């Protein structure tokens, strides 16, 4: 019975559908982005149990970034709906023709030519759809001199994601978006040297490395599907 509930939850909440529909498997996503050390997503991790419906959001809010990444699979089995509010999909559906032009951390700014901390990653490539990395509420659809046209999503659990330099946007502030939903199209608005997406993950309004989160859902789904194939043999 428990397995049937989990299987139903996976399909009902759309994670498998989002991964498959965005063709985010195999060579369609770059392994080069994951510059941080390999993290075992399925390692044992203690999560406090509670009957309160929002206990998972509370745990995520109190946990460190690394703890959330490590415990993602257990969080998903505990509550698929709330786990999908953790950034876990790459923001571009098709990686063909794309490249990571700038990683997270200190770098020489491409236009200012000074050493500055880069609070996200830049993904350069042709104009294409930008997708929400997790479900959440659109907090801001705006324009700034640096980010250009951008979308900021509040996931309601200490996480926010930012998608910058967009050519156009397709959502509005106050709108609820589901994981994998289209937010706009990549562009070169703001302080940019070409068409690319600036993608930023914030935890308690502080930038964390997006590379740690990019393939969480892909790995989870692959692991889940492998378990299902093994059980049906």
What is the tens place of the pLDDT at every residue in 25-54?
433 333 333 333 333 333 333 454 444 557
What is the tens place of the pLDDT at every residue in 215-231?
898 888 888 778 777 77
Smallest Cα–Cα separation from 156: which of 100, 86, 226?
86
Task: Provide DSSP, 59-80.
Answer: HHHHS-HHHHHHTHHHHHHH-H
Q: Share the mean pLDDT of the chain.
A: 77
- Do 150 and 138 have their domain in common? yes
- Do 42 and 71 have their domain in common? yes
For the residues 117-129, what does the mean pLDDT come to?
84
Q: CATH number, domain at 130? A: 2.70.70.10
Sort residue 180 into left (φ over 0), alpha (ψ -120 to 50) or beta: left
In a domain, 93, yes or no: no
pLDDT at 177: 96
Full residue range of the structural domain in which residue 10 is found: 2-88+213-231
What is the tens place of the pLDDT at every residue in 60-80?
999 999 999 999 988 988 888
What is the tens place of the pLDDT at every residue in 1-19?
333 333 334 544 566 666 6
Separation of alpha carbons 160 and 164, rounded Å: 13
pTM: 0.77
In a domain, 227, yes or no: yes
- Do 130 and 220 have their domain in common? no
In a domain, 94, yes or no: no
Judged against a pLDDT cut of 70, whether residue 96 lies above it is answered with: no
- Do 131 and 206 have their domain in common? yes
Phi, psi dihedral angles at 10 (to 5 degrees): -60, -45
Burial grade of 81 (CB within 10 A; 0-12, 13-18, 19 or more): middle
- Do 203 and 106 have their domain in common? yes
Burial grade of 101 (CB within 10 A; 0-12, 13-18, 19 or more): middle
């Amino acid at each position: 019975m428990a397995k049937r509930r989990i299987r139903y939850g996976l399909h009902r909440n759309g994670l498998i559908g989002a991964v498959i529909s965005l063709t985010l498997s195999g060579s369609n996503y770059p392994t080069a982005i994951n510059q941080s050390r390999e993290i075992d997503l399925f390692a044992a991790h203690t999560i406090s149990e509670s009957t309160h419906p929002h206990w998972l959001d509370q745990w995520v809010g109190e946990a460190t970034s690394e703890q959330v990444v490590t415990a993602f699979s257990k969080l998903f089995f505990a509550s698929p709906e709330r786990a999908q509010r953790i950034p876990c999909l790459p923001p571009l559906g098709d990686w063909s023709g794309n490249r990571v032009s700038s990683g997270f951390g200190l770098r020489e700014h491409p236009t200012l030519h000074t050493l500055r901390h880069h609070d996200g990653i830049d993904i350069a490539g042709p104009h294409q759809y930008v997708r929400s990395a997790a479900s959440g509420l659109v907090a801001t659809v705006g324009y700034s001199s640096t980010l250009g046209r951008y979308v900021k999503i509040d996931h309601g659990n200490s996480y926010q994601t930012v998608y910058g330099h967009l050519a156009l946007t397709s959502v509005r502030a106050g709108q609820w978006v589901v994981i994998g939903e289209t937010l706009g199209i990549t562009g070169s608005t703001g302080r940019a040297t070409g068409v690319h997406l600036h993608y930023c993950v914030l935890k308690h309004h502080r930038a964390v490395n997006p590379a740690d989160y990019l393939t969480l859902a892909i790995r989870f789904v692959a692991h889940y599907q492998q378990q299902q194939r093994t059980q049906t043999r």
